[in-house]
Amino acid sequence: MKDNKIFDLIEAEKQRQSEGLELIPSENYVSREVLDAMGSVFTNKYSEGYPGFEHLDGSDDEVLSVEPANHRYYGGQQNTDKVERLAIARARRLFHADHANVQPHSGAQANNAVYNAWLKPGDTVLGMNLGHGGHLTHGSPVTQSAKIYNFVAYGTNPETGDIDYDELEKLAIQYQPKIILIGYSAFSKIPDFDRVVKIGQKIPDCLLMADMAHVAGLIAGGAHPNPLDHGFHVMTTTTHKTLRGPRGGLILSRGTVGSPLKKPEHTLENIPTLIDRSVFPGTQGGPLMHIIAAKAVAFYEAEQVSFQNYAHDIVSNAKVLADTLTTHGFKIVGGGTENHLILIDMMSSFGIDGKIMEVMMDKVGLTLNANAIPNDTLPPFTPSGIRLGTAAITTRGMSRAEMIKIGDWMRRLAEICVEIHDGKKTESSFANELEAIREEVRQIAEIFPVPGI
Q: List the 385-389 sheet strands across, edge first.
A: 331-332, 341-345, 385-389, 369-371
Q: What is the CA radius of gyration of the chain?
A: 22
Spell out the residues 6+ positions from residue 385 whose beta carbon is closer than 8 angstroms to its own.
186, 333, 343, 344, 345, 346, 347, 354, 370, 371, 372, 373, 376
State the catalytic residue, choosing from 85, 90, 178, 241. 241
Name the minimum Å distance from CB 208 to ligand DSN.
21
Name the minimum Å distance from CB 211 to ligand DSN.
9
193-200 vs 165-175: helix crossing angle, rounded to 10: 20
| Total residues in contact with ligand DSN, by rule CB under 6 A | 4
Name the minimum Å distance from CB 36 to ligand DSN.
25
Residue from 77, 143, 185, 284 in contact with ligand DSN (CB under 6 A): 185
Name the minimum Å distance from CB 144 to ligand DSN.
15
C-alpha dist (Å) from residue 2 to 5, 6, 7, 12, 453:
9, 9, 8, 17, 20
Between 22 and 301, CB nearer to ligand DSN? 22
Between 77 and 367, CB nearer to ligand DSN? 367
Is position 239 an interface residue for ligand DSN (rule: CB under 6 A)?
no
Residue from 20, 22, 26, 276 in contact with ligand DSN (CB under 6 A): 26
Burial class (CB in 10 A: 0-12, 13-18, 19+), 3: exposed
State the catalytic residue, choosing from 22, 81, 84, 211. 211
Name the minimum Å distance from CB 314 to ligand DSN.
15
- C-beta separation of 403 from 34 below 8 A: no
Name the minimum Å distance from CB 114 to ligand DSN.
15
Name the minimum Å distance from CB 141 to ligand DSN.
17
Spell out the residues 6+ positions from residue 56 whose beta carbon is closer than 8 angstroms to its own.
63, 85, 88, 89, 92, 257
* CA dist., res. 336 & res. 177, Å (int): 32
Name the minimum Å distance from CB 241 to ligand DSN.
7
Window 269-328: residues binding ligand DSN (CB under 6 A)? none
CA dihedral 127→132→137→138, nearest 10 degrees, is: 0
State the catalytic residue, choosing from 19, 33, 36, 48. 48
Between 47 and 384, CB nearer to ligand DSN? 384
Q: Which residues partner with 150 through β-bridges?
A: 124
Between 85 and 240, CB nearer to ligand DSN? 240
Q: DSSP letters along 131-180, please?
A: GGT--GGGT-TTSHHHHHSEEEEE-B-TTT-SB-HHHHHHHHHHH--SEE
Q: Which residues partner with 250 through β-bridges?
A: 237
In total, the chain counts a number of residues equal to 453
Between 289 and 315, CB nearer to ligand DSN? 315
* 175 is an active site residue: no
Between 260 and 354, CB nearer to ligand DSN? 354
* 247 is an active site residue: yes
* CA dist., res. 242 & res. 390, Å (int): 9
* CA dist., res. 389 & res. 97, Å (int): 27
State the catalytic residue, choosing from 27, 33, 36, 46. 46
* CA dist., res. 367 & res. 28, Å (int): 12
Between 130 and 437, CB nearer to ligand DSN? 130
Name the minimum Å distance from CB 110 to ligand DSN.
11
State the catalytic residue, choosing from 80, 143, 238, 395. 238
Q: DSSP letters along 255-285, please?
A: S----TTSPPPS-GGGHHHHHHHIIIIII--
- C-beta separation of 388 from 25 below 8 A: yes
Between 80 and 283, CB nearer to ligand DSN? 283
* 166 is an active site residue: no
* 48 is an active site residue: yes
State the catalytic residue, choosing from 72, 92, 247, 254. 247
Between 136 and 190, CB nearer to ligand DSN? 136
Residue from 49, 51, 68, 107 in contact with ligand DSN (CB under 6 A): 107
Q: CB 438: neighbour CB atoms within 10 A?
A: 17
Q: Kindly give the pairing relationship between strand 99-101 and strand 249-253.
A: antiparallel
Longest Cα separation, the chain: 72
Interface positions with ligand DSN (CB under 6 A) = 26, 107, 135, 185
By annotation, the residues acting in catalysis are 46, 48, 211, 238, 241, 247
